[in-house]
Structure 1
Amino acid sequence: MSILEIKNLHATVETPEGTKEILKGVDLTIKSGETHAIMGPNGSGKSTLAYAVAGHPKYQITQGEVSLDGEDVLEMSVDERARAGLFLAMQYPVEVPGVTVSNFLRTAKTAIDGEAPALRTWVKDMKGAMGDLRMDPAFAERNVNEGFSGGEKKRHEILQMQLLKPGIAILDETDSGLDVDALRIVSEGVNRAKESTEIGIMLITHYTRILQYVKPDFVHVFVNGQIAEQGGPELAERLENEGYDRYLVGSGS
């Protein structure tokens, strides 16, 4: 059972115009087996929340707490956060020339578990997960994200999640840039990971289309660096029909 607790989180970023506060007091708790959709207009701070929790050096935490299973996440380095069970699927995954997907994944699994997985079992697991995601076996010998299409990058992120088995996964706009078929395949991968390991998921998205496949337990409307409203799946349906205008009046966004 994993629990990610975010309390009164404030974060800033340096801009050409000076220091800007992006997160303005975020409270959120995610438990194993729960899917929380974080929805909001562009520029509302959704991705900042993801990267601040994951430990991106660009974002400075100025106030608040983040804990995972009672441990202080903000005192951990980025790799310590990963070993503790935090996973971030990036909106724009970076290329890693010279490192194959297979080597990258096995090295990551070894770092998280503290020992290398048995080769025969690992190869079987990786091939099975790649097959589920409709990935060509040759994909394993390509360099990480180098020359990948948008859909291939997103499938690779979900492949990592399935194999590394984190306690809490933060998916930052995993649906962006995907066609209908890729969206369905990626969503099925998210659902498989949740069903097999009871992973807790923070699903950041601007649109509701991925929520047709990945059903949220909770929906949080994120506006101007704060959670403006929260509810169940019915809230996402309302956002689909009404948009975010009702939250933006007087918000400064």
Structure 2
Amino acid sequence: MSVLEIKDLHATVETPEGDTKEILKGVNLTIKSGETHAIMGPNGSGKSTLAYAVAGHPKYEITQGEVLLDGEDVLEMSVDERAKAGLFLAMQYPVEVPGVTVSNFLRTAKTAVDGEAPKLRTWVKDVKGAMDQLRMDPKFAERNVNEGFSGGEKKRHEILQMELLKPKMAILDETDSGLDVDALRVVSEGINRVKENEGLGVMLITHYTRILRYVKPDFVHVFVNGRVAEQGGPELAARLEEEGYDRFLTAANA
């Protein structure tokens, strides 16, 4: 069993005016293999900052706290070392990589994470199987990474990476944004498949409960003003659907 521990995490970012602003203000969160933790909160609450800070985005400076994966200090690792250790980030806005095909990108990533190239015959079979399950056209593999992709194609590609790289912990930053109902169902099935087959731990960042109808959370955390304001089970998500975040925002600004 793997464990991701986030302890009293504080992080700052430089504003366009050149000032430093604290975004994360003491986040505590523990995710174990096979668990799904939904992180819900209003815009500007710091959810994406949490994702990028754990993944190692250079824009964010960690000023206090710890992030441990199976007892190892994640904050001392480079971004690629974090990936090799078993961390995976599905970005809210995946970037385009002109000139690099999906096929080459996936095999290069797999080789880097595992430390050796996958056997070609097995790899081709694995890629085809994963693409079939995500209902992706085989021609997709020869397109440049995210170049001209629709929102749904970008998100399916993120889940395809996750299926093939087999991380220990996945941080999914608003994977449901921009998806129609059919694409949402396919993407959710992919998340559930990896969780079931690989014992994946999931941090699922979202505004809305619609993806939680397909990816059932074990825990729900309300994220407001850079910290966890409340946590509970799936029933908390249903309550947020009815009541919104007003009472948490009022308390945070009091």
Structure 1: how far apart are the matches of 2:253 and 2:101? 45
Q: Which moved more, 1:15-24 or 1:43-52?
A: 15-24
> CA offsets, 1:188-241, max 9 Å, x none?
000001011000000000000000000000000000000000000000000001
| 1:14 corresponds to 2:14 | yes
Matches within 5 A, 1:1-253: 1-17=1-17, 18-252=19-253
What secondary structure is seen at the aligned counterpart in 2 of 1:193?
helix
> CA offsets, 1:148-167, max 9 Å, x none?
00000000000000000000
Structure 1 residue 252, shift from structure 2 partner: 3.5
Structure 1 residue 16, shift from structure 2 partner: 2.6
Structure 2: how far apart are the matches of 1:249 and 1:116? 53
Equivalent AA in structure 1 for residue 26 of structure 2: G
Equivalent AA in structure 2 for residue 94 of structure 1: V
Compute the TM-score of the two structures, normalised by the length of structure 2.
0.98
Structure 1: how far apart are the matches of 2:91 and 2:115? 24
> CA offsets, 1:29-79, max 9 Å, x none?
001000000000000000000000000000000000001010000000000
> What are structure 1's unaligned runs of at least 5 residues?
none
Aligned residue pairs: how many? Answer: 253
What secondary structure is seen at the aligned counterpart in 1 of 2:221?
strand
What secondary structure is seen at the aligned counterpart in 1 of 2:100?
strand
Equivalent AA in structure 2 for residue 8 of structure 1: D
CA RMSD of aligned residues (A): 0.9
What secondary structure is seen at the aligned counterpart in 2 of 1:117?
coil
What secondary structure is seen at the aligned counterpart in 1 of 2:247?
helix
Large movers: runs of 4+ above 3 Å:
none
Sequence identity (%): 86
Structure 2: how far apart are the matches of 1:62 and 1:38? 22
What secondary structure is seen at the aligned counterpart in 1 of 2:197?
helix
Equivalent AA in structure 2 for residue 13 of structure 1: V
